């Protein structure tokens, strides 16, 4: 049977494709083995006929099933590998020792990249041929129908059930007697009727049809996905019908649909993220790009890239560096991950991120592959962010310089202006003492106005000097007891507290990690304000309390004073802003401005809630961890 004719073997990439093209319950022996004689696949009939188990067949050479005809079989195996196909008649020796004449037809294929032989063996003895071809001998019936997982049924050409195996109860929770005499279409989803009708029509021209999964109604009303192989045996008087071998594949279909949906999500995500793929076959010098990779390069989707062309897309000044990354991955197997600019087919410059992995076989790198992502937007955003940070740092530096200059000016101005004010006050005092009897009442009034004005100016300068020093970092962070601080403040304000009859209430306040001296100054201003802005004929009552959350403390200072109108809530914290004239309430208008700056320096914020005539509550927050 040898011939010199050149042929191309059929390529079957996976077991699933093989399974789709063959019948698991084929009445004939099916086999598949490689050049070493190792069995790769066989059907149930093979085990049934020969009597050998799965593990036994796995360790047997194809010629081991023959005795006197073993050399003949080996010869024809060689012929099949050389010419592509062969056929031979030989006596098959069963495990029981029984000898049955068989006719074998074999063909050379490439299965999963491996040179292999597949074929079919047909019993040419009348007795066994009849028993197996009908699949309804007693032994076959028990193994395939009664004890199997598949549902075996016989229907006529109209789809009426003539026989149903007991497995219908396991698969569909339907007793066989319920189905017999009924039309299969009554149980099949309406949208799948056409699929089944076409399968039955095809049986007019072929003996066997594989029906893709369709929906069959379970007894509980749900739909199960069923895969079926139809075999036309209407010409066999022992069957006289169409044999349907069905299997419940619901879980497989659901999983497949989920995989498809997931793949669609991944594809959509890849499109949104502009992430493509690529692979280079080093042995065959073949480069493959995914559609997204082609889109990024701005080439046509039918474009076929090669290695040299692909490398030339990298900008010239970084091209050699990109090549080094690829070479390193090939040489070491280490993953490369780098970002570089490319020049697209249309001349646009884009930044891309390239990931390169290696695939090895027998210690040799055969492929490199990975992802190709357009990161141009990210890069542009990074550049803008860097530029904005530079500008921000510039503004911050200028702001610091301006604040330093302002603080220096305030310090110098308030310090240097105090000397002339002291001189004015001294000479006014001297003038009053020396010429007291010579001056009339009007002159005394003018002198008092000038003296009080100088005193107020001096107080303003002192407050301004204090305000300018608030940014100083001389104070250390420490654990500060608010109870201790408030006791100290009450001692400092002892005179106004006694004169006004004020009550300052606080107890069990927390210990806070903060700066002590600014806190003293802040409470001093708030309590002094509460005493100053008291209602006539009402003793001031000041209550101080604290609450907390995970991040900060909130301190409240509440009084029963004259209150503040809502429209002035913000204004009272502005430097030199006053709501009352000097004659009504003294002061420089800087107390609350100083408090706000202290709170800000300590990392908190301050606000007020008040009702005119009923009092005010000042709230301020202090972080549980104050920055040094």
CA–centroid distance for 230 within its chain = 46
What is the structure's pLDDT at 594?
A: 81
Q: Specify whether 82 is located in the same domain as 35.
A: yes
Q: Specify whether 488 is located in the same domain as 614.
A: yes
Smallest Cα–Cα separation from 233: which of 245, 219, 221, 243? Answer: 243
Neighbouring CB atoms inside 10 A of 256's CB total: 13
> Which CATH number fits the domain that encloses residue 95?
3.30.450.20
Domain finish residue from 223, 255, 287 = 255
Classify strands 241-248 and 615-623 as parallel, antiparallel or unpaired: unpaired
For residues 332 and 310, what is the distance between their CA atoms, to the nearest angstrom?
Answer: 22
Domain assignment present for residue 73? The answer is: yes
Q: Which two tokens stand for residue 180?
A: 């017999």
pLDDT under 50 in the chain at which residues? 1-5, 10, 12-23, 127-129, 131-144, 580-583, 586
What is the structure's pLDDT at 626?
A: 58
What is the structure's pLDDT at 560?
A: 92
What is the structure's pLDDT at 317?
A: 94
What is the structure's pLDDT at 222?
A: 92
Alpha-carbon distances of 359 from 7, 185, 276, 575, 623, rounded to whole Å? 31, 51, 19, 72, 55
Q: Specify whether 357 is located in the same domain as 394.
A: no
Q: Specify whether 548 is located in the same domain as 505.
A: yes
C-alpha count within 13 angstroms, C-beta hemisphere, residue 203: 24
Domain assignment present for residue 545? The answer is: yes
Beta bridge partners of 121: 29, 104
- E strand residue ranges, 124-271: 151-155, 161-164, 208-217, 223-233, 241-248
Domain finish residue from 335, 370, 405 = 370
What is the structure's pLDDT at 403?
A: 65
Domain assignment present for residue 38? The answer is: yes
Q: Specify whether 155 is located in the same domain as 61.
A: no
Range of the domain at 113: 15-128
Domain assignment present for residue 41? The answer is: yes
What is the structure's pLDDT at 3?
A: 42
What's the helix, strand, coil split of the chain in %, to 5? 45, 30, 30
What is the structure's pLDDT at 509?
A: 92
What is the structure's pLDDT at 28?
A: 83
The conformation of residue 142, written as its DSSP 8-state character, comes to I
> Which CATH number fits the domain that encloses residue 608?
3.30.565.10
Indicate the number of domains in the chain. Answer: 5
What is the structure's pLDDT at 382?
A: 83
Domain assignment present for residue 133? The answer is: no
Q: Specify whether 246 is located in the same domain as 322.
A: no
Q: Specify whether 504 is located in the same domain as 418.
A: no
Domain assignment present for residue 269? The answer is: no
Q: What angle do CA 193, 194, 199 make, to 5 degrees?
A: 100
What is the structure's pLDDT at 546?
A: 93
Alpha-carbon distances of 100 from 89, 95, 119, 131, 179, rounded to whole Å? 11, 11, 17, 13, 39
What is the structure's pLDDT at 543?
A: 95
Domain assignment present for residue 607? The answer is: yes
Q: What angle do CA 434, 456, 442 make, to 5 degrees?
A: 40
Q: Specify whether 581 is located in the same domain as 606.
A: yes
Q: Specify whether 394 is located in the same domain as 425.
A: yes
What is the structure's pLDDT at 576?
A: 52
Q: Specify whether 115 is located in the same domain as 247.
A: no
Domain finish residue from 228, 255, 282 = 255
For residues 495 and 192, what is the distance between their CA atoms, to the nearest angstrom?
Answer: 98
CB burial of 601-624 (b: ≥16 within 10 Å; e: otherwise) equals: bbebebebebeeeebbebbbbbee
Q: Specify whether 22 is located in the same domain as 124.
A: yes
Q: How many Å from the N-terminal Cα to the C-terminal Cα in the chain?
A: 95
Q: Specify whether 243 is located in the same domain as 288.
A: no
Domain assignment present for residue 23? The answer is: yes
Contact yes or no for 324/346 (Cβ under 8 A): no
Smallest Cα–Cα separation from 122: which of 74, 87, 165? Answer: 87
């Amino acid at each position: 049977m040898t011939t010199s004719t050149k042929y191309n073997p059929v390529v079957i990439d996976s077991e699933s494709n093989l399974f789709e093209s063959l019948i698991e319950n084929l009445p004939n022996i099916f086999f598949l083995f490689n050049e070493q004689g190792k069995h790769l696949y066989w059907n149930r009939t093979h085990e049934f006929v020969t009597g050998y188990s799965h593990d036994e067949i796995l360790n047997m050479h194809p010629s081991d099933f023959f005795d006197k005809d073993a050399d003949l079989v080996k010869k024809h195996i060689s012929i099949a590998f050389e010419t592509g196909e062969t056929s031979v008649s030989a006596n098959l020796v069963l495990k029981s020792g029984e000898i049955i004449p068989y006719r074998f037809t074999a063909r050379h294929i490439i299965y999963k990249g491996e040179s292999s032989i597949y074929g079919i063996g047909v019993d040419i003895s009348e007795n066994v041929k009849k028993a197996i071809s009908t699949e309804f001998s007693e032994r076959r019936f028990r193994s395939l129908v009664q004890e199997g997982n598949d549902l075996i049924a016989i229907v006529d050409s109209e789809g009426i059930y003539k026989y149903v195996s007991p497995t219908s109860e396991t698969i569909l929770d339907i007793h066989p007697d319920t189905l017999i005499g009924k039309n299969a279409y009554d149980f099949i989803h309406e949208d799948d009727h056409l699929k089944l009708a076409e399968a039955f029509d095809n049986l007019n021209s072929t003996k066997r049809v594989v029906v893709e999964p369709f929906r069959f109604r379970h007894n509980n009303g749900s739909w199960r996905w069923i895969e079926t192989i139809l075999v036309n045996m209407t010409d066999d008087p022992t069957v006289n019908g169409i044999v349907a071998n069905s299997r419940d594949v619901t879980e497989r279909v659901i999983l497949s649909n989920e995989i498809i949906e997931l793949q669609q999500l991944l594809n959509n995500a890849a499109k949104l993220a502009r992430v493509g793929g690529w692979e280079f076959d080093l042995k065959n010098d073949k480069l493959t790009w995914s559609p997204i990779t082609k889109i990024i390069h701005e080439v046509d989707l039918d474009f076929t890239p090669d290695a040299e062309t692909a490398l030339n897309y990298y900008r010239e000044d970084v091209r050699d560096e990109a090549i080094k990354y690829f070479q390193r991955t090939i040489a070491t197997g280490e993953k490369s991950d780098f970002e570089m600019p490319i020049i697209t087919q249309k001349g646009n410059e884009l930044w891309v991120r390239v990931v390169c992995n290696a695939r090895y076989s027998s210690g040799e790198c055969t492929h490199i592959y990975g992802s190709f992502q357009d990161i141009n937007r990210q890069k542009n955003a990074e550049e803008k962010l860097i530029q904005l940070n530079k500008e921000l740092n510039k503004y911050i530096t200028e702001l610091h310089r301006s604040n330093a200059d302002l603080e220096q000016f305030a310090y110098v101005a308030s310090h240097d202006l105090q000397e002339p004010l002291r001189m004015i006050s001294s000479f006014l005092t001297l003038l009053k003492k020396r010429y007291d009897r010579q001056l009339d009442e009007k002159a005394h009034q003018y002198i008092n106005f000038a003296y009080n004005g100088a005193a107020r100016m001096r107080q303003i300068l002192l407050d301004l000097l204090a305000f300018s020093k608030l940014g100083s970092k001389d104070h250390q962070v420490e654990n500060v007891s608010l109870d201790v601080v408030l006791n100290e403040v009450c001692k400092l304000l002892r005179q106004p507290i006694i004169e006004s009859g004020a009550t300052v209430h606080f107890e069990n306040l927390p210990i806070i990690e903060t700066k002590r001296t600014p806190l003293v100054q802040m409470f001093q201003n708030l309590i002094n304000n509460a005493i100053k802005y008291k209602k006539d004929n009402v003793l001031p009552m000041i209550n101080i309390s604290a609450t907390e959350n995970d991040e900060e403390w909130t301190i409240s200072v509440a009084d029963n004073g004259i209150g503040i109108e809502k429209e002035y809530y913000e204004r009272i914290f502005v430097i030199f802003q006053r709501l009352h004239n000097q004659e009504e309430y003294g002061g420089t208008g800087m107390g609350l401005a100083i408090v706000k700056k202290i709170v800000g320096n300590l990392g908190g914020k301050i606000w007020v809630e008040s009702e005119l005539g009923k009092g005010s509550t000042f709230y301020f927050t202090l972080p549980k961890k104050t920055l040094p």
